[in-house]
């Protein structure tokens, strides 16, 4: 018997999540939540009804809906709303595309989305509410902390550590053993050869700090 699932978010990334969920047999989607535009309540998105916003959580849980997944790109909003969902008694569902390759000893936290074409190699640790997006790769012994986003086509070599809520931009390549701090953004197409601190913006080939923590 499939578990009842509500998807929180109703924009582009939610289409990807819906597709992954529907390719599996674990969850039945009962509807969508949209906190951004309350006027969408009662309308349809990608074949599913938008029920309302977070004010619907208690009612959904009481009606037997026991799983939730956050389906939007804002890293820290996923972390914040994931906590709210858990406080209401929901478990955080995982969405792993059947055409992703995930090593048997890799770990994937609740709420995380692993898109089509992704490769996650042995002993990799993927936290909660992480997105590893289309055709990205995470090599052996990497650690991706909660709420991070590895964008489409990004490639992490072995033993890379990506901090909480950080974003590795589309098509970026990260050298083995590199550490990317928390709340940091790596711009699209970057080549990361050295550690990047917390709360920073870096991009280029090789990647250089554009905004450092000391300058806000």
Which residue ranges form the domains of the chain, and what is each CATH number? Answer: 3-93 (3.40.50.20), 96-215 (2.160.10.10)
Residues 45 and 32 sit within 8 Å (Cβ to Cβ): yes
- The tens-digit pLDDT sequence of the chain (216 residues) is 899 999 999 999 999 999 999 999 999 999 999 998 888 899 999 999 999 999 999 999 999 999 999 999 999 999 999 999 999 999 999 999 999 999 999 999 999 999 999 999 999 999 999 999 999 999 999 999 999 999 999 999 999 999 999 999 999 999 999 999 999 999 999 999 999 999 999 999 999 999 877 654
Neighbours of 59 (CB within 10 A): 11
Rg, the chain, Cα only: 17
C-alpha distances (whole Å) from 213 to each of 11, 95, 165, 185 are 31, 33, 15, 12
List 140, 149, 155, 215, catalytic entry: 140
- CA neighbor of 155 nearest in space, from 126, 180, 135, 181: 135
Instruction: Mark whether 140 is an active-site residue.
Output: yes
pTM for this predicted structure: 0.95
């Amino acid at each position: 018997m499939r578990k009842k699932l509500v998807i929180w978010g109703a924009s582009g990334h939610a289409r990807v999540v819906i597709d992954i969920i529907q390719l599996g047999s674990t969850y039945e989607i009962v509807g969508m939540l949209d906190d951004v535009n309350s006027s969408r309540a009662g309308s349809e998105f990608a074949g599913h009804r938008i029920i309302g916003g977070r004010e619907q959580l208690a009612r959904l849980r009481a009606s037997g809906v026991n799983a939730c997944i956050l389906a939007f790109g804002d890293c820290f909003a996923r972390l914040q709303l994931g906590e709210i969902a858990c406080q209401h008694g929901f478990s955080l569902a995982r969405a792993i595309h059947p055409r992703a390759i995930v090593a048997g000893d890799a770990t994937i936290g609740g709420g995380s989305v692993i898109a089509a074409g992704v490769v996650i190699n042995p002993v990799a640790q993927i936290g909660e509410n992480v997105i590893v997006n289309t055709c990205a790769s995470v090599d052996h012994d990497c650690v991706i902390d909660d709420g991070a986003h590895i964008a489409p086509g990004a490639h992490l070599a072995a033993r890379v550590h990506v901090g909480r809520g950080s974003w590795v931009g589309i098509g970026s390549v990260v050298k083995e053993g590199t550490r990317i701090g928390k709340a940091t953004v790596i711009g699209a197409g970057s080549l990361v050869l050295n550690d990047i601190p917390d709360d920073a913006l870096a991009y280029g080939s090789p990647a250089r700090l554009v905004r450092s923590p000391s300058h806000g």
